[in-house]
C-alpha cells in the first residue's frame, strides 16, 4: 500500500511540474519570442485598446461596431466585457431578440433619418462572442455619410479610408472581408486632424 501511495505522489508531483510549470513556461517563452505583439494582447501602439476586442462607440463622428451581448457578473449588460464573452443565445424568432433588433434599427434610423439604405445585419445583431471588433464593409459604407457630415469631411475621403482599412479573406478563402472598427476610428481621427490642422 505504501509503495502505491509513494508512486501516486511521485506521478502527481511530476505531472504538476510538467503541466503546471514547464509547459506554461515554455509556451510563454515561445509566444513572447516568436509572436510578441500577439502575446501582449495585440494592443495598438497608441494605447487605444486591443485590435481583437471591440469597443463601444456611440458618438456620431465615429464608426459604430456590432452590438455586444456581454454582461457583467450580475447579469447586467456590459458591452465588450471580455470576462463575460458570449452571445445572447436568443433565437431569431425569440420576441426579446426581435425587440432588440427593432430598437437597434430605430436607433440607427434616428441617428441619420435621411439614410434609406438597407441596414446591414451586423449593425443590429451581436456576434457569438459579443466581442467582435469587426464589421462588414457594407456596415462601414452605411455609416460613411453620417460621419462625413459630422466631421465636415468629403464623403469620398471617408469612403476611401474604409477601403484602405478593409481586410480581405485570410489566405484568400477563409472568412469574409471585414473592417476593424477601432483601427478605422483611429484613422478617421488622423484624417480629420490632417484635413483641419489647428
Domain boundaries, the chain: 1-40, 42-195
Which residues have a Cβ under 8 Å from the Cβ of 105 and sit 6 or more positions away?
119, 124
Sequence-ordered list of residues with C-beta below 8 angstroms from that of 158, at least 6 positions apart, any chain: 144, 147, 148, 151, 188, 191
- C-alpha–C-alpha distance, residues 60 and 68, integer Å: 18
pLDDT, position 135? 95
Work out the number of other CB atoms within 10 angstroms of the CB of residue 178: 21
Longest CA–CA span in the chain (Å) reads 82
Per-residue confidence (pLDDT) for residue 127, from 0 to 100: 84
Contact call for residues 179 and 167 (beta carbons, < 8 A)? yes
What's the confidence (pLDDT) of residue 159? 96
Supply the pTM of this predicted model: 0.78
Average pLDDT over residues 52-69: 89
Q: Which residues neighbour 192 within 8 Å (Cβ) at sequence distance 6 or greater?
A: 151, 153
CA gap 34, 5 in Å, rounded:
42
Mean pLDDT score of the chain, rounded to an integer?
88
pLDDT of residue 197: 59
Amino acid at each position: 500500500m505504501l509503495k502505491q501511495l509513494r508512486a501516486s505522489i511521485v506521478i502527481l508531483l511530476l505531472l504538476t511540474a510538467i503541466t503546471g510549470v514547464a509547459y506554461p513556461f515554455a509556451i510563454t517563452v515561445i509566444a513572447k519570442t516568436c509572436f510578441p505583439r500577439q502575446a501582449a494582447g495585440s494592443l495598438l501602439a497608441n494605447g487605444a485598446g486591443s485590435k481583437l476586442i471591440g469597443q463601444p462607440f456611440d458618438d456620431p463622428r465615429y464608426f459604430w461596431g456590432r452590438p455586444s451581448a456581454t454582461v457583467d457578473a450580475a447579469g447586467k449588460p456590459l458591452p465588450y466585457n471580455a470576462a463575460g464573452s458570449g452571445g445572447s443565445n436568443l433565437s431569431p424568432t425569440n420576441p426579446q431578440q426581435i425587440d432588440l433588433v427593432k430598437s437597434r434599427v430605430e436607433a440607427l434610423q434616428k441617428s441619420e433619418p435621411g439614410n434609406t439604405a438597407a441596414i446591414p445585419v451586423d449593425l443590429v445583431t451581436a456576434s457569438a462572442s459579443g466581442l467582435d471588433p469587426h464589421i462588414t464593409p457594407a456596415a462601414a459604407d452605411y455609416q460613411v455619410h453620417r460621419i462625413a457630415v459630422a466631421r465636415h469631411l468629403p464623403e469620398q475621403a471617408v469612403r476611401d479610408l474604409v477601403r484602405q482599412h478593409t481586410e480581405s479573406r485570410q489566405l484568400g478563402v477563409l472568412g469574409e472581408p471585414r473592417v476593424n472598427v477601432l483601427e478605422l476610428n483611429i484613422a478617421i481621427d488622423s484624417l480629420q486632424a490632417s484635413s483641419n490642422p489647428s
